[in-house]
């Protein structure tokens, strides 16, 4: 194919769209930043697009709940469109606040295909960190789902997190077991040796140390860590101690795999 096209969806309060656009461009895609209002007015903008990204930030100030207002816009104006988008074999990525949007729209992990309407009915949700504060630190991530097209199943990666509401909580034990048994848990927080552990290894207290969720197709990924913030080795917190100081960071694996998948299937 000639070009992999991507849209980075903007909204008031989103602040990681430029970095995400840059990462997609580094991966070889042709990204465009588009405001949610424009997409709602012109849904045909998705025609010919292969990758849709909900970037990080604080959409609408998280005034109601993290990602909730943007999620409501998606549910009421774009839900059918985005479900068709996935059915066509295309990809959706949600990062941090974007992950919160995917959770509240039901696009990830899509256990029942429904958007969240009341907290009591959420199969999975994101809530306040156990620390009670905003956590800005680097974490190791162990792949947990071989079907997710965004990840390398055998590669542990190192990425930053920056969130106040990143704790993944399942409605009950059966739902939590389903996330693990059926391959919905795309990444888990681990230490440098790949072992689970308490804070700060798990920065928010997520159940089963889950850091990211995919859907049944493996073409939707929601993750709390920020891959767009580690695309160059010089962004590593200890880059001056690295043997090699030039090249690409672990975050590029997410974007490279997405672009590669589209090129191989379209």
- CATH number of the domain bearing residue 83: 3.40.50.880
Q: What is the set of active-site residues?
A: 96, 226, 228
| pLDDT computed for residue 118 by the predictor | 46
Q: Residues 6 or more apart from 55 whose CB is under 8 A from it?
A: 8, 9, 10, 14, 16, 17, 19, 20, 95, 96, 97, 98, 228
205-239 core/surface letters (b: 16 or more CB in 10 A; e: else): bbbbbbbbbbbeebbbbbbbbbbbbbbbeebbeee
**Below-50 pLDDT ranges, the chain:** 116-120
The number of distinct structural domains making up the chain is 1
170-184 core/surface letters (b: 16 or more CB in 10 A; e: else): beeeebbebbbeebb
| pLDDT computed for residue 248 by the predictor | 94
Domain extent at residue 257: 4-265
Going by the DSSP 8-state scheme, the letter that residue 68 receives in this structure is H
| pLDDT computed for residue 119 by the predictor | 47
| pLDDT computed for residue 61 by the predictor | 77
For 35-79, how does the pLDDT look when each residue is reduced to its tens digit (9 = 90+)?
999 999 999 999 999 999 999 999 987 776 778 889 899 999 999
């Amino acid at each position: 194919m000639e070009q992999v096209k991507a849209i980075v969806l903007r909204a008031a309060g989103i602040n990681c769209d430029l970095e995400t656009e840059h990462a997609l461009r580094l991966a070889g895609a042709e990204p465009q930043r588009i405001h949610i209002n424009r997409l709602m007015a012109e849904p045909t903008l998705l025609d010919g697009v292969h990758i849709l990204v909900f970037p990080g930030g604080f959409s609408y100030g998280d005034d109601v709940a993290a990602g909730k207002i943007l999620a409501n816009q998606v549910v009421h104006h774009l839900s059918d469109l985005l479900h068709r988008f996935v059915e066509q074999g295309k990809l959706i990525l949600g990062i941090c606040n974007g992950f919160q949007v995917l959770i509240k729209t039901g696009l990830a992990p899509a256990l029942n295909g429904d958007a969240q309407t009341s907290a009591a009915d959420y199969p999975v949700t994101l809530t306040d960190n156990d620390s009670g504060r905003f956590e800005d630190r680097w974490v190791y991530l162990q792949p947990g789902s071989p079907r997710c097209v965004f990840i390398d199943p055998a590669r542990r990666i190192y990425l930053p997190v920056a969130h106040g509401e990143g704790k993944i909580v399942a409605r009950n034990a059966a739902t939590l077991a389903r996330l693990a048994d059926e391959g919905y848990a795309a990444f888990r927080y681990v230490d440098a040796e790949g072992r689970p552990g308490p804070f700060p290894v798990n920065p928010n207290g997520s159940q089963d140390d889950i850091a990211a969720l995919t859907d049944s197709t493996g073409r939707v990924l929601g993750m709390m860590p920020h891959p767009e913030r580690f695309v160059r080795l010089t962004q590593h917190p200890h880059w001056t101690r690295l043997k090699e100081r030039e090249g690409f960071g672990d975050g590029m694996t997410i974007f490279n795999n997405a672009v590669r998948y589209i090129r191989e299937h379209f």
